[in-house]
Amino acid sequence: MTKLYRIFTNAELTARVQTSSTCHIFKSEGKQTKMPSNKSVSDAPITRFINGTILREHTLQREDLWVRDGSILNPEKLFYDEQGFADELVNCEGTIIAPGFIDTQINGGFGVDFSQLSENVPENVSLVAKKILEHGVTSFCPTLVSSPPVVYHQVLPQIKVQEGGPDGAGVLGVHLEGPFISAEKKGAHPEHCLRTFSSRPTEDLIEVYGDLGNVAIVTLAPEMDNSQSAVKELCRRGVTVSLGHSAANLSQAEEAVRGGASFITHLFNAMLPFHHRDPGIVGLLTTDQVPPPRTVYYGMIADGIHTNPAALRIAHRAHPSGLVLVTDAITAMGLPPGQHMLGQQIIEIKGLHAYVAGTTTLCGSIATMDMCVRHFWQATGCKAEEALEAASLHPAQLLGIARKGRLDYGADADLIVLDDKLNVKSTYISGEEVWRKPEQR
């Protein structure tokens, strides 16, 4: 027999709560409020977020959000199956509740460079993980630029995949950007660190990287000899393959996609420019050669510097469901202008630009994820939902993590509270507040 559920209005839910004979102390934006409640079947506390607009199923919806044990609850089943109610009430006061941001390409920040040999790698990762909470990031992929094998062998084992919490955003795995990339399109990557594939690409990968157990993404150039075998091997190991720092033509890029590649590293940057007779990697946005039902995703650095607003609009309108916002942030994010290290090179910060010292070559961004979301929203004129999903839903889909990047029932309660201008007011991981914007005085 099928059980039927009825959706209650907020007024009905409040009325049901008020008919209970017992009371608990509820929290409401830092203030204590007495509200009646009833004991649920589970001993875990239940939090109810009220007076907010929730991003769910690509739409901002005016409804409450219920959380227990770090996951999003279905309130209908809670009421009918458990006769349970909230133990804590959070008044969002008309703000937006969205999934936490996921940054799949971040080289460091706040004085930390993930590509540097250090005895304090775990502490450095933790520092960045803690700092990015205020920018709405609840999960990220620490990124290493092209480096000597000794760097990978010593650094990678120290970066552990882990869930986020009060101490910082979760680590989803490492993004290895290089060194199997094109010298022609190396960008800020040091040429002496670049590698090519031999006739035994699997051995090349292990020789350079060592253990791939904590690796989530590898960026490589698909036009290199034997790269297609490397693509297939990485995909077999569950690693997302991204195409970038490449002079590949469209057919070479399409072959890599057929082999399993599913991402483009910072679209338009460090690749051949679009040409109408051979659009190169950019052509993957509209190719008809992607095996259904797969999607090719592409990263974009929407910092107002790396990509012209017109280029942002072209990419978004051509393939909106594949757009993934990334910061490509470097060690100087959060630091004053001056010289800093990025991997094996000295970089210089001038205003909002980061250059390889002594050149005009851009080498990553100093923008934070919330800045990128706001700039993308304003530059493209897209809906707020689209800008938010480009930094949450799409990166989660890219990495195949169904429980993150969305506020569906059963998903992880990694969420952020934003005002109507998409400024982050507070950040939650597993339903627990881990950062709150200080009150203005």
Residue stretches of the annotated binding site for Zn(2+)? 177, 245, 266
**Strands lying side by side in the sheet with 46-50:** 71-72, 65-68, 46-50, 88-91
**Rg value, the chain, Cα:** 23
Provide DSSP, 305-325: SSS-HHHHHHHHHH-GGGEEE
Task: Return d(Cα 257, Cα 181) in angstroms, integer.
Answer: 17
The verdict on whether 328 is a catalytic residue reads yes
Task: Return d(Cα 220, Cα 213) in angstroms, integer.
Answer: 18
Residue stretches of the annotated binding site? 177, 188, 245, 266, 269-270, 277, 306, 362-364
Residue stretches of the annotated binding site for substrate? 188, 269-270, 277, 306, 362-364
Dihedral sign of CA atoms 257, 227, 102, 368 in order = negative
- CA 369 → CA 20, 134, 254, 389, distances in Å? 43, 10, 30, 12
Residue 314 has phi, psi (to 5 degrees) of -60, -50
Identify the active-site residue in 328, 370, 412, 414: 328
Cβ atoms within 10 Å of 259's Cβ, excluding its own:
18
Task: Return d(Cα 411, Cα 88) in angstroms, integer.
Answer: 19
Task: Return d(Cα 373, Cα 368) in angstroms, integer.
Answer: 9
Q: Known catalytic residues?
A: 328
